[in-house]
Structure 1
């Protein structure tokens, strides 16, 4: 079903057009500013400066990398990343945004996997990374230090004549259920997805959008935000992720200072700001300019939305800006989120009946509150199907979310079997459970994460919500619930991470509180409960819980418990 009309800009044919079309009219206008944790500006670039640096690096790439080969873009958040990413598009090279190796041991293992899969001919990076020991482990690719490229090379650049059907970049999946795979995002995918997000942003044509983001640029939702900014000819303020994590107030201070209109973040970030910012930090904020506060990349909690809206209403934050959304790397990023003022924000479901029969039954009061993830744009189509047969699901029965349309990836790089399994038949099999109601998409969780105990289906997100709220020492956003086999029986396992700085004198007592809460709320007995030290819960680069890995660590007995 097509929900609303789109008016994609015909001038945006390729990824390169997203940046280049702002010239020469906006050449002297600031395109990007980089902030530290205190909100101080540490770097910036105008559209003209950015374009010149991009063309110079693209000219160099055209000398050392053949069209269609891959180039890793491996830098921290900053202007260099944008230069490297767009230079690939300008050169006709397939860009591969990846995390910098200093992100930690887990990220380094993921990076090695990506390098093996993508087989890059070049790595676009910084001096520090190029001179590090890690660089020697990444194969024989040509190392190019972005900041050292002579801007005068821009005069040697030639247009590669890219078409919409060609692959623009590889967006590697977050690896929540398996090793990362490179979704092939074409130039046409980019144009279609940005047209849809532009509609989501609630702005008029030719309105330069003001965006603030702290998400990592190698992640799909992080990359989206500068792309959308340049698509509209606006300005983006970028904050390195660690700066936000160390001082969350910087995100909202930047929204206030730069009159930010659009920003995306996972649910936990909104929760942190609502619960951790002090009265003094909130006092000087003016969030009245915020048009779309997009919440995605992990389960959206209704209580979080309520807390955030109430906490920042005195700062002028408009409740109408709250925008729960759904997306995935295989769809470039955005699938649903747009809503009208009168649209429903949630539905209440009878959880026990849903778990018992698999049917949607409205609850008179209480129950599980499912947040609406918005309408689907007209250049996409969504179906809810029986995951076993592929046939449309019966009324009031959730099914697998499947998607087709203009922004859906062409498949996985060099993975024909995985591509056929995921994209075969013209529909992307998301592996997510959901349903449609009143024109909105509702997402219940991952199909392969379903917990089936004693013949009843339990959604892990429900159990995790109960666990996170059961004890004040626990971090509500860092819990995992999973099923495992023991003595021929299916058992429930739980991992619960404690908050940073919280002393845990009696982890057994915390575990007992968790067991009682889960038994009371879900009529489930937890056979294994592990109370973890901060940072111990396996998560993807986008913050998603890795339940399969949690189960593997439980079975291996290698969890960092108290």
Structure 2
């Protein structure tokens, strides 16, 4: 029985050494230059990296992984697992004048993790050399260029004696409502969640064979749990082949995603909701021509609110290319549960629950609560009252709590937060549960996610979910950019809490700002019976988001209160 993903990698390398594990599209273009790695080659590079780490006496330590998009990250990550080193994926600095925010975050994560070594490619290590005096630690941090590790070193690798309870890596949360925390994911957690992903998405040996082992196409960042544990690690778990390319290449030209799906015909590919919106936005009338999406069986959608309107439009737009509506697969997960908690099933259309069908909060005319599927095998999902800890019946909104072997050990060096988040109880239920901080309800065993517990807006005694207000606003006027709206509450003194909505629009709309805000106010009043305290239109790129694309409402609220928002109607400095 496999003790880790590394055992499975070595098994696949022995069974089908020449099979391609990953291909990477260097430019993001399907007809451009491609770099590939076979299972045999990946296993050799994994052993070589692990041997170098063992040679340096680093077993049991933490290693920060800083790589640009490409294949080198994968052998470095697996090399850490094979050496018994705790991997800490991070965002690499770029250039001698590295982005201040990225550099600050990198230093903060290194210090929090107590990283004693950094693994990177030549470019990243060169940049780090120029920043050495700014890195945490009294004597700096060891820097290893994994490209320069000789293949021959693979012969020196030794089993590190890891077990299911050994911490495999630290997944730092994206921090949508709080400072990032390092989630301790064990080898057992990883194997269990890969089992869940495989079962829920239907990645059986027969399915892989029917797709010529083509499993994923993904541009998702590998330093984030969705991109790492989904496309990258499920490939190693199943022994399939996956096609990867850079997130930047997708953002620069969104059709590259669908071109890659069309060319390589994977079983599974997906992204957060905003990516589907981008694909739609950049889809001219003739775009479906030349695409063949008929082989796409699972189009997963998660990491942020799944919009019913997005699902409908995507299915309708790409139906001429053979896309099937039943491929749309909403899912729900979080780093604290390793990744996947619930998912729809391949071949089953998503459940869209309108307010008049029993949805407890949908208010806009076209809004619907989107089902995120059922829990994976061995995963328990309970909706509880966050105050009384009572389990709630079907249809009632409460806090989503999760139990099972995929739930991570806790937060790194944070016993208090671990106890509060990972050791929660539910009345009438045995065992401890993970407090997700997310709100939702169950209906016939399916989970519907409605928002964040801390983001709830209470005005005049009525609860309003920011996702609903944001969706209504975006549907009210085409000038509002999809997925770029933030609703939050502010203290209005004697009047109590009041709602504020901040929305990104193009600077070209500055002359129409008053008209746009009037339309938005009217739509929110009609749909939700809510008088909005303020509607602020800001320039594109103003609203802060996490690395996974989630709106950071608290950060936006702070910027609103301190007057630092870049308003669309503000005069341009000249």
Class of the TM-score when normalised by the shorter of the 2 chains: over 0.9
Structure 2 partner of 1:121: 116
Change (3 A) 1:305 1:391: same
What is the CA distance between 1:451 and its match in structure 2? Answer: 0.3
1:230 matched to 2:236? The reply is: yes
1:466 matched to 2:472? The reply is: yes
The answer to whether the 8 Å contact 2:63/2:85 transfers is yes
The answer to whether the 8 Å contact 1:110/1:180 transfers is no
Gaps of 5+ in 2: 425-431, 569-574
CA distance in 2, matches of 1:313, 1:152: 51
The partner residue of 2:135 within 124, 135, 138 is: 138
Structure 1, 143-152 or 33-42: larger mean CA deviation? 33-42
Structure 2 partner of 1:175: 175
1:264-313 CA deviation, whole Å, 9 max, x = no partner? 20011112212322244321111111111100000001111111111111
SS at the partner of 1:185?
strand
The answer to whether the 8 Å contact 1:65/1:122 transfers is no
SS at the partner of 1:519?
helix
Structure 2 partner of 1:313: 319
- How large is the Cα RMSD of the aligned pairs? 2.1
The partner residue of 2:23 within 6, 30, 33 is: 33
Structure 2 partner of 1:6: none
1:82 matched to 2:74? The reply is: yes
1:436-456 CA deviation, whole Å, 9 max, x = no partner? 112211110101100000110
Structure 2 partner of 1:381: 380
CA distance in 1, matches of 2:73, 2:151: 16
Structure 2 partner of 1:216: 221
1:14 matched to 2:21? The reply is: no
What is the CA distance between 1:181 and its match in structure 2? Answer: 0.5
Structure 1 partner of 2:397: 398
What is the CA distance between 1:20 and its match in structure 2? Answer: 2.0
CA distance in 2, matches of 1:72, 1:262: 29
TM-score, with length taken from structure 2:
0.91
Structure 2 partner of 1:246: 252
1:45-86 CA deviation, whole Å, 9 max, x = no partner? 111111111111111111224322100111011111101111
The answer to whether the 8 Å contact 2:362/2:468 transfers is no
TM-score, with length taken from structure 1:
0.92
Structure 2 partner of 1:415: 414
1:384-408 CA deviation, whole Å, 9 max, x = no partner? 1001121112453211100000110
Structure 1 partner of 2:429: none
Gaps of 5+ in 1: 1-10, 355-359
Give runs of aligned pairs for residues 495-534 of structure 1, distance below 5 A. 495-499=502-506, 504-534=510-540
What is the CA distance between 1:350 and its match in structure 2? Answer: 4.9
Structure 2 partner of 1:453: 459
| Count of aligned residue pairs for this structure pair | 544
1:69-114 CA deviation, whole Å, 9 max, x = no partner? 1001110111111011111001100001111223844333322221
CA distance in 2, matches of 1:521, 1:180: 35
The answer to whether the 8 Å contact 2:328/2:350 transfers is no
1:445-495 CA deviation, whole Å, 9 max, x = no partner? 101100000110000000000111222222121000000113242121111
Give runs of aligned pairs for residues 196-207 of structure 1, distance below 5 A. 196-205=196-205, 207=208
1:190-244 CA deviation, whole Å, 9 max, x = no partner? 1111111111222333633421001100001100211111211111111100000
SS at the partner of 1:467?
helix
What is the CA distance between 1:522 and its match in structure 2? Answer: 1.5
Structure 2 partner of 1:56: 48
CA distance in 2, matches of 1:146, 1:278: 43
CA distance in 1, matches of 2:348, 2:329: 13
SS at the partner of 2:484?
strand
1:153-180 CA deviation, whole Å, 9 max, x = no partner? 1111111121111111111111001111
